[in-house]
Structure 1
């Protein structure tokens, strides 16, 4: 669930960031294009007023009416821009503003952008400053128009005017033109500043978006690599486990088939011999051998059943009183060897533990029966000591005997499946393997200490707060 939510968050952030960057780029480019259109329009505005000023100055000195007509024609360019802006301020039809802008010398391609940016950003701080300069320039254009009309009326009334008066009128026109040129430069400077500001803001947001995307990619990549590594480890572990299971299954199948058939073959041979035997003492010997074979077969089958149960039965813990528990095991096993006396002793300092009764019974029944089964025939008494005590966060159990012991070269293999030192006489090779499996399932450990011909001690450590595997 965590992985799914992380992936969803990652996709949402990436998509949102991409959409945001695309949106910012789109509007930034549109604003920049609109600003460029106004800059181009200001150029037409300035050229128009400068040409109008030149024509008006020539008209003052030549009195040629053609120059006055050209003055009006060129002055109409900045006037048209003013009329377009005034119509937009009054929220008039856009078509009227569109016609005025085109009459002002703007291309039809730029007009739509000029209208859009004016309607949406005329009150924005940077663009408002440019609009205020534009309005001031419009007043100067009106002043220039009025001055031109006044000069035209004066010249019409008196064809001859003094040289000094001509110079004064020209200076007046040039003064207005200089102010308009100054306003044009201010307008360009404000728009250039706005373009730089838009570029910086766009770059800032794109950089932040890119960093956010890279961060998301890095985080998800790290998360994915971590998950992939964990999955690979888990897969490797499962492969190793399956390989081990397959090997054990092959060994189990081979050994079980062999160990199940061998006693039956021997039993059939003994039955055949008994059918033709007449001597009672020999028949008794055959019957004893049959009993031994069937007992061993029964024990082998029981261990297979326990092995199967450990694999498939659910683990359920319960409170176990240790002294009655061990007494029950001892009472079941004390007569395993008819001609040998078994001396059991217990040192139990733990009254009760919380664990799985079925599996503990298999563990200690195996260990105690092995202690009896592998007794030392040279010793008169079989001694078995069971000890239980607490140490730190563990319950410690030991089963110690004075039996035949385990030779050093065999000690590392005694927990392997089907490993026996004297397979045909006593062992099946499943018991200690099963004990090891169960102890591991109980999150515990088992160790062995043995001296050949002196005895063996098994030590089991189980955690107090047993969380079963």
Structure 2
């Protein structure tokens, strides 16, 4: 799943859970209001019952018709509520129970909640039991009213005593029914509230979990972007280093033949023999041809934007001979002996010719540059052999050598070991970078005052 799709999913989940949370809270508030409305209505209902029974007791004791009228008036409140209950049970239009509740002294703002809750919770156990208790209280009122109507037209003392006893019993029974009615509604309210709390908790967990997951996703995306940015930066940095490498190599290898040409010009100016002069001119021509070839190779290399090795068949012996030829004609290098030792079958190899030339040319150039003129016999040797998987090239000299403490530092960029020698500190760095580009390794073995040996192990390209 893409990041964009994941973001849309999180937005959908958060929006959905937020909507559910809002709806459940609205629903919860409506239920609480409904329970409160029923309890408020029950108070008016209970008061009407109590007042009716109280006035009926007064009437039994005084025979005062005004108490009878008050009894009938008070009885209208619970009986109107009972009519409203019958209308709701029979699914009559809301206006009918509404008018009955108005007659039952129920506050108008509570009636809609009472009707709504009856419609939605009439089959819920606790609510159904509360409605049943409500119906039982109606039966008690009807029964006592029937006896009261008989007593109104009678002077029987025994009937009066029976009615008085029945009023007391009914009053206690109605009180119990009213208490249980409120208790059932309260239990229903707690049950619904508990359910809604669980729903709220679950929805909140889903919302927080979605946001947390999205936050972790964003953080992971940021870390990934940071890694990609660093990788891009490293690539740009490597490309800049490679550019520095090739600029240096280009300037180094362009200057080497010019130095040799200067040496040949100097020799030619001192020569009087036309044959020697022609030989020097021929050498100059060869140097210029080789330099032209080198420039073409560098241009070809710079055209490769990815700067990855492109192996092809090449003559390694010719590359080594060319490197010696480019450096040996300097007047200071005349006394240095050069040797090439290539194992059978390795004169021609498959590798990237430009990288190989950079490696060989720079190592041989350094060997000449850091030769030891105090030694009677000076040499530079190039040996090539192979093992099972690698081509091994060794460039050895008996020059001034390098102290062991500098063996690793000499491969660092711009590190100059001897400030008296002309150099930029890029030579060995370029060599190491080129070797690593080919997937190989380079090792330095050198003793100060004795000489140096560079051993390169390069993979064989098929």
Interval of TM-score (by shorter of Structure 1 and Structure 2)? 0.7 to 0.9
Distance verdict in 2 for CA 1:332–1:151, change over 3 Å: farther
Contact kept in structure 1, 2:394 and 2:454, CA below 8 Å: yes
Q: Output the CA distance in 2 between the equivalents of 1:26 and 1:70.
A: 42
Q: Secondary structure at the match of 1:456?
A: strand
Contact kept in structure 2, 1:340 and 1:382, CA below 8 Å: yes
Q: Output the CA distance in 2 between the equivalents of 1:404 and 1:316.
A: 34
Alpha-carbon distance, 1:221 to partner? 2.7
Cα offsets for 1:288-334 (capped at 9, x unmatched): 684476357436524533542453367789xx9xxxx6xx4335336
Residues 341-356 of structure 1 mapped to structure 2, 5 A cutoff: 342-345=340-343
Match of 1:384 in 2: 383
Alpha-carbon distance, 1:436 to partner? 2.1
Q: Output the CA distance in 1 between the equivalents of 2:315 and 2:425.
A: 20
Alpha-carbon distance, 1:105 to partner? 1.3
RMSD: 4.6
Tell whether 2:220 aligns with 1:222.
no
Q: Secondary structure at the match of 1:402?
A: strand
Q: Which runs of 5+ in 1 are unaligned?
A: 155-159, 390-394
Q: Secondary structure at the match of 1:105?
A: coil
Match of 1:448 in 2: 443
1:407 counterpart (402, 408, 427)? 402
Distance verdict in 2 for CA 1:334–1:358, change over 3 Å: closer
TM-score (norm 1): 0.75
Q: Output the CA distance in 2 between the equivalents of 1:62 and 1:308.
A: 125
Alpha-carbon distance, 1:269 to partner? 13
Residues 109-128 of structure 1 mapped to structure 2, 5 A cutoff: 109-128=109-128
Cα offsets for 1:192-233 (capped at 9, x unmatched): 111111222222222222233333333333333333234334
Alpha-carbon distance, 1:9 to partner? 3.0
Residues 29-428 of structure 1 mapped to structure 2, 5 A cutoff: 29-154=29-154, 160-162=155-157, 164-239=158-233, 241-242=235-236, 245-246=239-240, 249=243, 280=274, 284=278, 287=281, 290-291=284-285, 294=288, 297-298=291-292, 301-302=295-296, 304-305=298-299, 307-312=301-306, 328-333=314-319, 335-336=321-322, 337=324, 342-345=340-343, 359=352, 361-367=353-359, 374=367, 378=377, 382-389=381-388, 395-404=389-398, 407-408=402-403, 409=406, 412-414=409-411, 416=413
Alpha-carbon distance, 1:247 to partner? 6.6
TM-score (norm 2): 0.76
Q: Output the CA distance in 1 between the equivalents of 2:458 and 2:23.
A: 66
Q: Secondary structure at the match of 2:51?
A: helix
Cα offsets for 1:217-276 (capped at 9, x unmatched): 3333333333323433443454455456557657866885797699789989999x999x
174-183 or 333-342: which moved more? 333-342
Q: Output the CA distance in 2 between the equivalents of 1:260 and 1:397.
A: 28
Alpha-carbon distance, 1:431 to partner? 9.1
Contact kept in structure 2, 1:10 and 1:220, CA below 8 Å: yes
Contact kept in structure 1, 2:245 and 2:426, CA below 8 Å: no
Q: Output the CA distance in 1 between the equivalents of 2:422 and 2:293.
A: 13
193-202 or 308-317: which moved more? 308-317
Q: Output the CA distance in 1 between the equivalents of 2:58 and 2:177.
A: 23
Between the two proteins, the alignment pairs up a number of residues equal to 435
Q: Which runs of 5+ in 2 are unaligned?
A: 326-336
Q: Output the CA distance in 2 between the equivalents of 1:316 and 1:244.
A: 19
Alpha-carbon distance, 1:54 to partner? 0.9
Tell whether 2:433 aligns with 1:436.
yes
